[in-house]
Amino acid sequence: MNTEPRVPIDLDAYLCRIGYRGDLNPSAATLRALHLAYAMHVPFENLDVLLGLPIKLDLESLQAKLVRSRRGGYCFEQNTLFAAVLEQIGFVVTRLAARVRLGTTRVLPRTHMLLNVEADDQIWLADVGFGGWGLLEPMLLVAGTEVRQGVWKFRLRRDSDQWILQTAHQGQWQDQYAFTLEPQLDVDYLPANHYCSTHPDSRFVQTLTAQLPSASVRYLLRNREFIVIQPEGERSESIESEEKLLRVLAQHFALCFPPGTRFGPTRIGSAEPDKRLIPSQ
């Protein structure tokens, strides 16, 4: 539970944004349905960072951006909003922090936000903010059980006091992130959000990305490469112009920007060796 005062969520507008018309009782079935609808309608993206705009985490700003302007965002935005929605419906939510492992061999700071949610007397891991490799639905906080969501497979494993979320990719289990169950407050995310959105070493400052999963395909945009991932394989397409970039954002991520929009910095478009594994944090 968070102790800070909450701005009410416009639930009607929010549910319209994610295309949800189902039940709102605080049950596991409702949690799964809300999570799935959100994951497949609201893309992970960092475009405001590359437009030089601040990333605000107050609920009024998040509703204005993600709901009314039909944009996406990264984990602090997505999971802050989702947590507030769940709490308004009646779920008990604990905010957590994780170290991303996907696409890196280094130990990274805790720059990912995720949620524990109580439903039907069980604890669920919920996370709508990890992008194309993330969960479609919440999963029980149980180690060792393989969970299938659409065509994708996930599992949790334990390492001392840490939990590690893994996904199966090309026949191998890959760590996505590691977390503990220590509760976090809104204020705990402010330093990480500032680093992610402003520091020159942050991948969100260096790299344009938009990501969106579905039950059978994952769409990933990284700089000038558009990647479509399915269980049987991957295909990629180079983006030769800014105009085509705007078309890809609109067509595959429902992110619409005025003609002539340009995203900085100048490093966008530079090649890097790990293009297939696109870290979300």
Catalytic-role residue among 35, 48, 127, 186: 127
Catalytic-role residue among 75, 169, 186, 196: 75
| Residue 41 is among the residues annotated as catalytic for this protein | no
**281 within 8 A of 127, measured Cβ to Cβ:** no
| Residue 112 is among the residues annotated as catalytic for this protein | yes
CA–CA distance, 111 with 125 (Å, rounded to integer): 17
Catalytic-role residue among 10, 12, 48, 112: 112
**What letter does residue 73 receive in the DSSP assignment?**
B
**34 within 8 A of 88, measured Cβ to Cβ:** no
- The pLDDT of residue 60 is 97
> Which token pair is 193?
């959000």
- The pLDDT of residue 131 is 87
- The pLDDT of residue 148 is 96
| pTM (global) more than 0.95 | no
Radius of gyration for the alpha carbons in the chain, expressed in angstroms and rounded: 18
- The pLDDT of residue 265 is 63
CA atoms within 13 A on the CB side of 79: 31
What are the phi and psi torsion angles at 237 (to 5°)? -140, 130
| Residue 161 is among the residues annotated as catalytic for this protein | no
**What letter does residue 186 receive in the DSSP assignment?**
G
pLDDT tens figures, 251-266? 999 999 999 999 986 4
- The pLDDT of residue 232 is 83
> What pLDDT tens digit does each residue of the chain (281 aa) get?
455 557 899 999 999 999 999 999 999 999 999 999 999 999 999 999 999 999 999 999 999 999 999 999 999 999 999 999 999 999 999 999 999 998 777 778 899 999 999 999 999 999 999 987 899 999 999 999 999 999 999 999 999 999 999 999 878 899 999 999 999 999 999 999 999 999 999 989 999 999 999 999 999 999 999 999 998 889 999 999 999 999 999 999 999 999 999 998 644 444 343 333 334 44
> Which token pair is 89?
């419906």
